[in-house]
Amino acid sequence: MNQPLRITVWNEAFHETVLPGMGDYYPDGIHGALAAGIEAQIPDATVRCAVLSDPEHGLTEQVLADTDVLLWWGHVKHDEVDDEVVDRVHRHVLGGMGLLVLHSGHFSKIFIKLMGTTCSLSWRNAGEREVLWTVAPAHPIAEGVAQPVVIPEQETYGEFFDIPAPDELVFVSSFSGGEVFRSGATFRRGNGRIFYFSPGDEHYPVYNQAEVQRIIANGIRWAAQPGKPRSAPEVSQAPRGWFEPHAGPTAQ
């Protein structure tokens, strides 16, 4: 329990190469901003980054095996993520690795595969104010989070967001245009834990905001299961009474 948490931040890292001015607020890319926020909030964490252009997208078996929690940011390059890597991440999540899916990651292959739905939503990029409200104050991810958090400018996401009913709905946001969105939601799948968190877009410096960093750090701590053997559930067959203390099928 006293081992430092091992965090991997994944970013498709495409907008960074084409969006003028993005370097002003995200000089090290979205992944760099996320990593800096995590390091500020969880000083003893070990944070590394991986991007689409890395071999195997930087998500080798070894990297995932050494990762307690993976953060996923993608937007326009979802289709370029290899299915084999997606299957590998899926297996690790079901085996106990934590996963934070951020913003436009709702349409990533891994999130769709885990949710089983279209993960579609309505959207509008108009720099509206997002107000994020805690609806589950006793949840660990809401710990120390202001009620509400105001994000001055953000892409608008609106319902219907086609996800399974979350295990726990933690945050709901309004946008100044009148839309609402289930902006923070948890899902347990297999032996793993998933947190979807919608704030954060390539056009606005949302990940530099301390309250947002706090929520992401809370999400990481909640999703992490350090020290847990990593294995996805498997089918098994066992004789009657296999679990009895004195072994063998019971006479009962």
CA distance 181 to 214: 20
Interacting positions 216-245 with a copy of itself (CB under 8 A): 225, 228, 232-241, 243-245
Q: How far is the CB of 200 from a copy of itself (least distance, A)?
A: 18
Which residue do the tokens 């939601």 mark?
A: 185
Q: Which of 39, 135, 153, 203 binds a copy of itself (CB under 8 A)?
A: 135
Identify whether the C-beta of residue 22 lies closer than 8 Å to the C-beta of residue 82. Answer: no
What's the burial of 9, exposed, middle or buried (CB within 10 Å: 0-12/13-18/19+)?
buried
- Bridge partners of residue 100, in order along the sequence: 71, 195
Q: Which is nearer to a copy of itself, 31 or 92 (CB)?
A: 92
- Bridge partners of residue 6, in order along the sequence: 46
Interacting positions 44-103 with a copy of itself (CB under 8 A): 94, 96
Q: Which stretch binds a copy of itself (CB under 8 A): 34-42, 53-61, 76-84, 135-143?
A: 135-143
Q: Which is nearer to a copy of itself, 65 or 124 (CB)?
A: 124
CA distances from 54 to 1, 62, 147 (A): 31, 14, 39
Give the 3-state DSSP-derived string for 3-56, with helices as H, strands as E and coil as C.
Answer: CCCEEEEEECCCHHHHCCCHHHHCCCHHHHHHHHHHHHHCCCCEEEEEECCCHH
- The total number of residues shown for the chain amounts to 252
Q: Which of 121, 212, 216, 217 binds a copy of itself (CB under 8 A)?
A: 121
Q: Which stretch binds a copy of itself (CB under 8 A): 60-68, 70-78, 81-89, 170-178?
A: 170-178
- Which residue type, as a one-letter code, is found at position 205? P
CA distance 110 to 79: 11
**How many chain residues touch a copy of itself (CB under 8 A)?**
73
Q: Which of 129, 203, 205, 211 binds a copy of itself (CB under 8 A)?
A: 129
Q: How far is the CB of 29 from a copy of itself (least distance, A)?
A: 25
Asked if 172 interacts with a copy of itself (CB under 8 A), we say: yes
Asked if 145 interacts with a copy of itself (CB under 8 A), we say: no
First to last CA, the chain: 41
Q: Which is nearer to a copy of itself, 48 or 136 (CB)?
A: 136
Asked if 208 interacts with a copy of itself (CB under 8 A), we say: no
Q: How far is the CB of 243 from a copy of itself (least distance, A)?
A: 5
Instruction: Give me the phi and psi of 122, to 5 degrees please.
Output: -110, 150
Interacting positions 182-201 with a copy of itself (CB under 8 A): 182, 187-193
